[in-house]
Chains A and B, each alone.
Chain A
Amino acid sequence: MALAVGCRARPGKARDNKTGSWRVFKPSFDHEKCTQCGTCKTICPEGCISEDTDGKFIPDYQYCKGCGLCAEECPGEAITMKQEEK
């Protein structure tokens, strides 16, 4: 008899949980100021920042918690946190 041990979940199933709803402040990216250093993408604890097809860095607002780390660490001051209207 096959015995199922413990609980199982599909890899990356956490994506079902849209943590963007936690956000109070929203990072807004100024692509003119961005030097494309990639710091924001490396240090976002959510791993939700990526480059679009034009090489612009953008967060996935479905998951961005608005922690502000990217804005704080961006060497070009290209990211500003703004209170989100909901």
Chain B
Amino acid sequence: MVNKDLELFDCGHRACGGCGAALAARLVLKGAGTNTIVVSATGCMEVFSTPYPETAWKVPWIHSLFENASAVASGVVASLQKQGRTEKVIVMGGDGATFDIGMLCISGAFERGHDLTYICYDNEAYMNTGIQRSGATPYDASTTTSPAGSCSFGNKRPKKDMPQILAAHGAPYVATASIAYPMDLMQKVEKAINTPGPCYVQLHAPCCTGWGFEGEQTVAIAKLAIETGLWVNYEMIDGKVTKVKKVVRKPVEEYLKTQKRFRHLFKPKRQDAEIAAIQAIADKNAEKYGIDIKLKKE
């Protein structure tokens, strides 16, 4: 059962003030509970939560490398099974470790069908090493390896559809969630760890430092991503979408304007064509997942 009062991710970690990923870690463990073992991939969360000899984790936790967290977790699961133990195994990776570097080991773990839950806290770039783009970086976001300037509007490629890729592996439960909706997030984690087989949960976790906004805005910005249709919260059981968060949609501009990584779309000159292209991405999401709440005409 989700226990909101359970604190398994302790104070004293070194995340920036207002960090979305730190909030994600707290909420994930509230959903997962004490009978959990966490395997972390290299990334922001691993670095800020465990500068040796400190650790914020109050459940058994292991880190090996960037790329192999799912392989390590596969071994942990196999060993627990052999010993007849009941702990649930969670892998925590950022979007870099998930969408790019850990892909091979994730695919292997899902294909072999280990009973684990892979959780990606998605802050849409490599933040820990200095904001380089990843396969999760959205279209037109400026990063240090996709800088906006006179020749470019930032990242040229759309976000990789990781949940669909893992659903295609036959994952029985795949979900997306956001730190802006804590109860939903905790319940999805709980559902994932209690579903036998490899499950995947992708969490939208805004990064004040990497995206360029004040730490107090983290939850508000995560909410705007949902309200504009640029992030969709849904649940997939056996590859079929069964539950979607519906919204009365706002124009994407309201989300883009809040962050420095999209500032070049408004200054020095408003880039209407680019904003329209991002609006088209949101419109496509809305149509694909049916998120629009239709208001009655007056």
Contact = CB atoms under 8 A, between A and B. Distances in A.
A69 B20 CA distance: 10
A14 to B, nearest CB: 3
Given A11-B57, A12-B55, A22 B17 contact: yes
A66 to B, nearest CB: 6
Given A47-B9, A72-B220, A14 B56 contact: yes
A63 interface: yes
A58 to B, nearest CB: 14
Nearest to B29: A47
Interface in B138-183: 179, 182
B219 A60 contact: no
B197 to A, nearest CB: 29
A47 B219 contact: no
Contact of A72 (B15, B56, B179, B216): B216
Contacts of B17: 22, 45, 65-68
Q: Is the interface of B mostly helix, strand, loop or mixed?
A: loop
Interface string A4-46: 0011011111111111001000000000000000100011111
A22 B48 CA distance: 15
Given A45-B19, A68-B216, A72-B220, A9 B52 contact: yes
Interface residues of B, number: 38
B53 A69 contact: no
Given A11-B58, A14-B12, A22-B17, A43 B182 contact: yes
A9 B17 CA distance: 24
B226 to A, nearest CB: 15
Given A12-B10, A67-B18, A72-B216, 17 more contacts: A7-B52, A9-B52, A10-B55, A11-B10, A11-B58, A12-B57, A14-B50, A15-B11, A15-B12, A22-B17, A42-B4, A45-B15, A45-B26, A63-B11, A65-B18, A71-B216, A72-B220
Interface of B: 4, 7, 9-20, 22-23, 26-27, 49-50, 52-59, 62, 179, 182, 214-220
Interface of A: 6-7, 9-19, 22, 38, 42-48, 60, 62-63, 65-69, 71-73, 81
